[in-house]
Chain A
Amino acid sequence: MTAAQAASAQLAPLAVRMSGIVMRFGAVVANRGASLEVAPGEIHAIVGENGAGKSTLMHVLTGLYEPDEGTVAVDGHDVTGWSTRQAIVAGVGMVHQHFMLVPTLTVAENVVLGREPRRYGAIDMALAQEEVIALGKQFGLVVDPRRRVAELSVGEAQRVEILKTLIRGARILVLDEPTAVLSPPEVGELWRVLRRLRDGGATTILITHKLDEVMDISERITVMRHGETTARLATADTTPADIARAMVGREVVLAHRGSGIGDREPREAGATKGAGHALEVQNLVVGTLRNERAVDGVTFAIAPGEILGVAGVEGNGQTELIEALAGLREVSSGNVMLGNRDITRAPVRERTDGGLAHIPEDRQRRGLVLDFPVADNLVLGLQHRYTRAAQIDRAAVVAQAERQVRTFDIRPPDASRPARALSGGNQQKIVIAREMGRDYSVLLAAQPTRGVDVGAIEFIHSRLLAARAEGKAILLVSAELSEVLALADRIAVMYRGAFVAILPRAEATTERLGALMTGATSVPGATPP
């Protein structure tokens, strides 16, 4: 902050002041007296576990929800209960976690959508493109306005989202988990943009639950827990441990080597010699409608008691690889062996019964039937084991559910509720309980901690390490490099459908993996896959 800005910050009213916000959804209270104070021109991070009420609070700020109680003031004016339209006019704009872009339109068309410059009644596309270029130059948001959004990378699409918000005159920008989909270099790029926006006088509010990012970019931090504001901190005076404590209300053991979780010892490849491979994949090719070789000749094997991590920017074939292994996507060529059973083209149930467990990356779409009770979701995929004479043995299902709810601490502890009514972290616990609470030999874990809170992450990590200790073979796909580094014995880097390298954990560094993830071809010391 420059001296002038600092001075004006003290004189000017707060950019955002929210106090005593209560927001109820039916029986659920998402915000219970939450507050937020953001000074003009600062980058402010809101952190908290999933379900802490961060997004809800921001939706109140941007006019999507009207709070049941509490007041919202922007630039010193009371705006409680305003509409999204009023919020936009007043310069409050939100960049959503899921992009709201029309893929078939160009960048410029998307940016000016709804407020197109007109000339003789027709849209003046040249002017629109100039506007986009000018705005992009001003804030370092470089993207060709004539390209179609469908052709853009995720990072570029996000820039378009930010441009869209800026062109509508936003001076207070809200970003909801902006880095969830970005590669490390793209995150750095985003930080550069945010700093430039700040220097231009904009105020930024950033929702995240990645503590390292908070330390990197923010100036002040608001911590939320259970719908309440539990701490306001100046980033310079705090540590990640302090923030984590405020988030969960207790000490968190962040999983990493030497933390003691799972009592792991680094394994050498030779340690499992003679045990045979639990999962063996040879030259696997998987196609999609758009890309015939979405998985492009992948070969690897996992031994019992080993975690193979797959790092990579999302969209490089990880999803297709997992789906093919799980039996949800047809294999074009290649071979998959589960133990000594060929499952290349086996149906899902045969794989399940053969000892394959699968935590899917999208639990709400794949992993759960949201309108089914928790109990039924706990046997999804195993329903044939709970069937007697064509009839589901409800008593056995309920008994199993009660056991799992207790063992995996699923909350609220009522298995008759629909899965939809549970928080994201608890929904994931249902999936984990079902997949890891039974007999299996190989686990496919796709983004197992995505969108869950710190407490649940800790729980899931310790489960994965315990499974490894029990001799399970685990394929771990994660967008979180730190997660892969913390858990995996070997790390494969996936880029454009292929494993460009498989490194032992000891040789894998963030820098090296980051380079490989973005397609750098010659990395010294990389063992060919």
Chain B
Amino acid sequence: MTAPPAASLIAPSRATRASTALAESLLPPVVALLIALVAGDLLILAFGQSPAAVFGLLLEGTWGNAYGFGQVLYKATTLICTGLAVAIGLRAGLFNIGAEGQLAAGAFAAAIAGLWLPSGTSALLAVPIAIGAAMLAGGATGWVPGVLKARFGAHEVIVTIMLNFIVLAMLNWVVASHLNVPETLHTPEIAAGKVPRLSALVPAFHGSAANFTLIVALAAALGMWWMLFRSRMGFDLRATGLQPDAAEYGGIRVRRVWIRALTLSGALAGLGGINFVLGYKHYYEEGLAGGFGFLGIAVALVGRNHPLGIVLAALFFATLSQGGLAINALVPKQFVEVLQGVVILAVAAAVPEVRRVLRAGVARAAGPA
């Protein structure tokens, strides 16, 4: 309906558009953050505390000291993986809510690999094997809903939700009845494949759980960026997510892409399991996923399904999660969960609105002919 007669008259320059695109991707989360901050202030005041004191404590307990920061990095490691997992599904037009179960499956497989390998196996061999096992187990858990959708049209949301229960219950049973150390709900320590903590390099991190699996998570983010925006697989995957009919027309086998995307999504969530098993506790324990699979949905949403955004969003949610412990003296630690919720709602509401305002601004700047 709208053919610009002379494009140069009204079209903003390429540079203007690039900066608009940047603003479009950065501004909404910032606006959401401000909204959350105001909501948080009100909530803190309702508790009869000073917002400055609470947020001061939250920052002090996270980015303010090496231990707290190390804990943030530790939590972010898992969240990067589950965030990438959810995002890759969304890029293909699929909503994977099964990251929680896939995370647990990956952690369990990593533990089994570590237990099965003889002690003294070189880390150079053992770690890749454990990583492979984690991704394989997570990927298999993601493959199931992929095939059920492609083959029978079963909705992936339902299937992935239900698989969470199945996977977690199965793992609990196996661990509790066959693999546990007596009187505990965890497996014995792995014999091989342990990943050193960051404190081995930076002593200041001493005591925090941050470990070198963070590098693996960051590499996964980089790999996903390449996959999405440079590889043919990413081209096909994004086309499928945006317009399945056009993808099919373009010779893309949409069902195959669905299976691939959900398998890869599961593999990435499973990869998150190595953080706990290889890097921190060195065993699989019931309840280790601890909601970090579900939190991956929030990470993907706030990170706008972009690998870089996801890394930043993972750091943010890790900060909130760790900060909740720090401010427990002043307000209940559930306060940060409320804050998380507000951020998610604000992002969901702010993204379209901020974009609209931005576009209108650009139109004005470009001016009518």
Q: A: which residues have CB within 8 A of B?
A: 22, 24-30, 32, 49-53, 55-56, 226-227, 326, 328, 347-349, 352, 358, 360, 365-372, 376, 380-381, 383-384, 387, 390-392, 394, 411-414, 416-417, 423-426, 453
Contact = CB atoms under 8 A, between A and B. Distances in A.
Given A352-B251, A367-B246, A32 B369 contact: yes
A254 B226 CA distance: 49
B235 interface: yes
B253 interface: yes
Contacts of A50: 1, 3
B155 interface: no
B366 to A, nearest CB: 5
B190 to A, nearest CB: 34
A30 B230 contact: no
B363 A376 contact: no
B281 interface: no
Interface string B221-253: 000001000111101101100110111111101
24 contacts: A26-B360, A27-B359, A27-B362, A27-B363, A27-B366, A29-B10, A30-B2, A52-B3, A56-B1, A348-B251, A366-B248, A367-B249, A368-B243, A369-B246, A370-B242, A371-B243, A372-B239, A372-B242, A376-B235, A380-B239, A381-B250, A381-B251, A383-B232, A384-B251
A231 to B, nearest CB: 17
B6 to A, nearest CB: 9
Interface in B194-245: 226, 230-233, 235-236, 238-239, 242-243, 245
Nearest to B11: A412
Contacts of A29: 2, 4, 10, 368-369
Given A383-B232, A384-B232, A392-B230, A369 B3 contact: no
B51 interface: no
The bracket for how many chain B residues form the interface is 35 or more
- Specify which of A53, A358, A383 lies most central, judged by the most chain B CB atoms within 10 Å of its CB: A383
A32 B368 contact: yes
Top-3 shortest CB links A-B: A51-B3, A412-B7, A423-B3
Given A27-B366, A49-B3, A380 B246 contact: yes
Interface of B: 1-5, 7-8, 10-12, 14, 17, 226, 230-233, 235-236, 238-239, 242-243, 245-251, 253, 359-360, 362-363, 366, 368-369
A376 B250 CA distance: 11
A392 B12 CA distance: 28
B185 to A, nearest CB: 43
B242 A28 contact: no
Contacts of A384: 232, 251
Q: Which of A22, A367, A425 has the most CB of B within 10 A?
A: A367
A360 B249 contact: yes
A424 B1 contact: yes
B246 A366 contact: yes
Contact of B2 (A328, A376, A423): A423
A55 B233 CA distance: 40
Contacts of A412: 4, 7-8, 11
A230 to B, nearest CB: 12
B241 to A, nearest CB: 10
